[in-house]
Amino acid sequence: MKKVTLILLILTITLTAGWWRTYGGEDPEYGSHVLQTKDGGYIFTGRSYTYGGIWVVRTDEKGDSLWAKILGSGSGVCIQSTKDGGYIIIDGSMNLLKVDPFGNLQWEKSYGWGDGGYVQQTADGGYILVGSTTSGPTLSNILLIKTDSSGDSLWSRMFYKDWGDPDETTNFANYVEETTDGGYVVMCESGYCYELAGEWYYSGGPWLIKTDSLGDSLWTRMYRGECASSGQLTEDGGYIITGYDWYENLLLIKTDENGDTVWSCTWGEEGKDWGRCVRQTKDGGFIVTGTTNYIEHYGDWDTYLGDLCLLKADSLGNIEWTRRYGGDQTDHGRCVQETNDGGYIVIGDTWKLGDYEHDIYLLKTDSLGFLAVAEPVTHEIQPTFEVVTGLGVQVQLVSYSEDCQMLNVFDASGRLVDEVVLDGRVTVSWGNGHSPGVYFVKVMGERAAAHKVVLVR
């Protein structure tokens, strides 16, 4: 039997660290990228089918909308702050849009038909952008473009791996960053489709490209895995990559400055677990968002199930905690950033959790990934029950009252997951059927204090 450590805290103050919001209309909306702004608020971009185009929304620190803009007719893939206080956006068709601090379009540039992946302002005030294009030797080819401050192209470079059949080879890029030597690093995925016994399969993996200041390749590295979704330059000059492996587990790969693997780790539950965005945190570790327990059901109506997930790892890839959020349908996490207060802001999309069928999903958590259960400020009162620590996946709830008490149990996202009756001075075991994690146990009633229980395997 594994030993389970339980940490018990009694909360007697209002918890305000976390919240979540949905944004949308009658048709589907998708969130792609989010940033914290200098005033502590947030700005995000994505796609609105209700309003028909790139959706840019600026909020205050609580997620309440300050303004919203529809730009063009595509999908906002990535948004970044610029030195003049405005923002630069790359869309799903490899177009670059520059807006002022209030979201008003200043200019738009197109670089041919393709799929936009990422954009960043460079030290010289210009921009580096990456995506993929079908105009090239293979089915999909990586396109790297450097522009001046007005978005006019200075140079472009194409990269691809040919796996033997150009018509079945795909190369995608989803992140680019300027490096300290003035060059660039591009996070990619390369693979190919093949037929076996009448079924089609895909084989591929993460691909890292390091270039000089003119975009010419210095070295490339391929890694064991299936899919690469995101990456970042790390403080030590190396790189971090996330995606999923061949067994459909969330994958993290840490490399040194030469792209050689330092460590890798995986995490997974029952279904497919997919890391979509990874960022280094202030403590030297890493935060990842994506989708967990993603399961596809095919029948008369195709059904997709899964939760938005948040995973925290330390600097060596040891997983410190994981969190799940969302409703009873499909929820995806697509971008995460550490916030000024040490918490996290996450954007994605949710199916049927909001007012409409498919909405943008924005979550603000504390440093442990909790959305928190809001509790009123309480005064000192004698406890009427106690949570007794123990071994296994169960905890014991001991009542000190002769009266019958009803306990509410919430998970870390604030959802009521169970109700427990303590009828007099009794001891009740609780935990069967519930996953290890964080739960808030409280007596039903406005002035009741909450007991925060953390189960760590």
Cα–Cα distance for residue pair 86/449, rounded to 1 Å:
45
Tell me: do 70 and 178 sit in the same domain.
Answer: yes
Residue 186 belongs to domain spanning: 16-365
372 lies in some domain: no
35 lies in some domain: yes
Cα–Cα distance for residue pair 188/142, rounded to 1 Å:
8
Q: Are strands 29-36 and 42-48 parallel, antiparallel or unpaired?
A: antiparallel
pTM score: 0.76
Cα–Cα distance for residue pair 189/160, rounded to 1 Å:
10
86's tokens: 């405005």
Contact between 207 and 173 (Cβ < 8 Å): no
Cα–Cα distance for residue pair 54/89, rounded to 1 Å:
9
The pLDDT tens digits for 446-457 are 445 567 666 555
**Percent of the chain predicted with pLDDT > 90:** 55
45 lies in some domain: yes
Q: Is the pLDDT of residue 32 over 60?
A: yes
Tell me: do 244 and 393 sit in the same domain.
Answer: no
285's tokens: 């570790």
Q: What is the CATH number of the domain that holds 424?
A: 2.60.40.3080
The pLDDT tens digits for 313-323 are 999 999 999 99
DSSP 60: -
Q: What is the pLDDT of residue 391?
A: 52
Tell me: do 38 and 116 sit in the same domain.
Answer: yes
Quickly state the pLDDT bin for 343 (edges 50, 70, 90).
very high
Tell me: do 228 and 160 sit in the same domain.
Answer: yes
Contact between 215 and 144 (Cβ < 8 Å): yes
Quickly state the pLDDT bin for 444 (edges 50, 70, 90).
confident
Tell me: do 237 and 186 sit in the same domain.
Answer: yes
Residue 447: burial class (beta carbons within 10 Å; 0-12, 13-18, 19+): exposed
Cα→Cα distances 342→99, 235, 345, 364, 418, Å: 28, 17, 10, 11, 30
Tell me: do 26 and 127 sit in the same domain.
Answer: yes
377 lies in some domain: no
Kindly report the average pLDDT of the chain as a whole number. Answer: 85
375 lies in some domain: no
Tell me: do 289 and 431 sit in the same domain.
Answer: no
Q: What is the pLDDT of residue 354?
A: 61
Cα→Cα distances 455→159, 248, 388, 389, Å: 47, 26, 12, 10
- Residue 168's φ and ψ, nearest 5 degrees, are -120, 5
95 lies in some domain: yes
**Span 247-255, average pLDDT:** 92
Least confident of 34-38, 196-200, 236-240: 196-200
The pLDDT tens digits for 346-385 are 999 998 676 667 899 999 999 999 996 544 333 334 567 7
Tell me: do 303 and 336 sit in the same domain.
Answer: yes
Residue 255: burial class (beta carbons within 10 Å; 0-12, 13-18, 19+): buried
Q: Looking at 365, 399, 428, which one is the last position of a domain?
A: 365
Helix (H, G, I), strand (E, B) or coil at 413: coil
Tell me: do 337 and 429 sit in the same domain.
Answer: no
Cα–Cα distance for residue pair 129/125, rounded to 1 Å:
13
Q: What is the pLDDT of residue 299?
A: 47
Question: In sequence order, which residues have a C-beta less than 8 Å from that of residue 419 and are 6 or more positions away?
Answer: 406, 407, 408, 409, 444
Q: What is the pLDDT of residue 456?
A: 54
CA angle 8, 12, 14 (to 5 degrees): 115
Q: Are strands 5-11 and 239-244 parallel, antiparallel or unpaired?
A: unpaired
441 lies in some domain: yes
Closest-CA residue to 247 (of 261, 276, 222, 268): 268
Tell me: do 216 and 92 sit in the same domain.
Answer: yes
**Span 169-187, average pLDDT:** 94
Q: Looking at 337, 365, 393, which one is the last position of a domain?
A: 365
Contact between 255 and 221 (Cβ < 8 Å): yes
Tell me: do 71 and 173 sit in the same domain.
Answer: yes
Identify the H or E element spanning 22.
Answer: strand 19-23
Tell me: do 259 and 398 sit in the same domain.
Answer: no
Quickly state the pLDDT bin for 439 (edges 50, 70, 90).
confident
Cα–Cα distance for residue pair 83/9, rounded to 1 Å:
44
**Span 8-22, average pLDDT:** 56
Q: What is the pLDDT of residue 454?
A: 65
Residue 417 or residue 457, greater confidence: 417
Structurally, the chain folds into a number of domains equal to 2
13's tokens: 């103050």
The pLDDT tens digits for 292-309 are 877 665 444 445 578 899
Q: What is the CATH number of the domain that holds 214?
A: 2.130.10.10
Q: Is the pLDDT of residue 70 over 50?
A: yes
3 lies in some domain: no
Q: Looking at 335, 365, 395, which one is the last position of a domain?
A: 365
Cα–Cα distance for residue pair 319/322, rounded to 1 Å:
8
Q: What is the pLDDT of residue 9?
A: 34
Contact between 240 and 232 (Cβ < 8 Å): yes
Q: Is the pLDDT of residue 390 over 50?
A: no
**Percent of the chain predicted with pLDDT > 70:** 86
Closest-CA residue to 55 (of 34, 85, 84): 34
